[in-house]
Structure 1
Amino acid sequence: MSVPRRPPALLAAPLLVLALLLAGCASDAPPAKAPVGAPGQGAAGPESDAASVRRASPSPEPTPSPAEIPGLGPETLAQVPAEARQVFVVTGEEADSHQAGAVLYSREGPAKSWQPVLGPWPAHNGMEGWTDHHVAGDLRSPTGVWALTDAGGRLPDPGALLPYDEHPRFALDGEGFFGEPLEGSFDYVVAINYNRTAGVSPLDRTRPLGLERGGGIWIHVDHGGPTQGCVSIPEEHMEELLRTLDPAMNPVIVMGDAATLRR
């Protein structure tokens, strides 16, 4: 019996300066380059049915480690506290860019994987981009990982889970770097715990690292342009964020340009 042969087989007017001194958003000193205002993704041949299924089925994607968050490298992930179960990731396009994107990730426990729960959203950061050594007036947002413990704004509490300070001192006017109106930028804010004391209003001006290292770095309502160092997102998303950030989940922000965060 013959065996068949098998064939061969990819900054600003005085009023605005006063507002910034009271509230701050990126620096406690006037920027070196002040704007009119401030703030701030077939083989041929016979084969078995089982082999056909194996060839037709795509290879499964590798299952990510519970510790992994897309876009964050091992050095960055190592800075995220073990107790944090909410991580707001703000990723800048380039080191000198003021355009960014934001996603909130959450997980139920250390053994669980991170899941996106809000976003992706468009965002802005400092006019001059990012820095790993922020100083007052450099117009750059600091890169790093910080806790999110306190919120506030000019408008009434929209249902925030974090402690919320409603205060008229969050009022702001003037124009931003591109002439866009700043009014309403501080209607809602979440304080980023860079050079500040946790557990107090975002308006508190205590600067543990000294005034020269800046302060008043917030997440706030986007005004359509770059900030002095804060992170800004559209107002409707600020409301969503405030209603979702839960102090019981020890939320933190991870922020920086994409290349730095991948380290």
Structure 2
Amino acid sequence: MTKIDHVPIGTLDIEAAIPVYRAVCGVEPGRYTSADGTTKLARFFLGEAMVELMEPIGQPKEGMGATVVRRLGKAGPGVHLVCLPGDDPAATAEALAAHGARVFEQDGHRYVHPRSANGVLIQLTPRLEFGPPPTSGDAHFDHVAVAVKDLDQACERWAVILGTPPDMKGPHPLGTFDAARFLLCDRMIELVAPRPGVESAVAQRIGSAGEGVIVIAIVAPDLERTLERVKAAGTRVVWREPHWFVHPKDAAGVLIQLTPRVEH
């Protein structure tokens, strides 16, 4: 069964981002250095899932740090990749290659190239652990939403990546875009596509930045308390019917949804 393992987020200032994610997740991070010594890591554990902040140490020429530097140079701070390990990563990689996807190996991991996954770098192999995980936060990692141009084509590729067809596909209840949902236990990958002739945040995102991760949802168990924590950290929150979000400029380039998914 494929799962959402973790979402690493690249930043040039990990210390500035930590208070924001501490407030959102409700927990102190575990602090580590990558195995190759090139990257600072701050890991926020949310049950079995995890959000990871990554800052390159200096200007490394190789290893994880060099990869993060390249990503930051191209796209700025934001989601670096989405880790989606299944029961057999090698078999998934073979199936994707047969489907025409670009799959590669680096630093002991298998990846799907962003050009083969609607702008998302996907890690097919599990994260490297640095000992027993610390205390889990009180929030729930709910889903990752990916903006795509063509929902049908994207569903074909993501069904191979995730090993399952979408559980639903059609107009989103908000009416401004179409969506497909892949349920992965209590978490979810959601593909969202603009509707022809309809203005939406999805259409704006694709028009300005292309396909890719548009939001991650870290749902607050007590919204009022979480909003207080986030605001106390000096972070901007935004209300867009029907959700509360943390502003991406304060969250290392990531739009964070704090409220539960809209049920179809």
Instruction: Give the number of the structure whose alpha-carbon radius of gyration is greater.
Output: 1
**TM-score for the superposition, normalised by structure 1:** 0.24
What is the TM-score when the length of structure 2 is the normalising length? 0.24
Q: Which has the higher strand share?
A: 2
Higher relative contact order (CA 8 A, sep 6+): 1
Larger helix proportion of the pair: 2
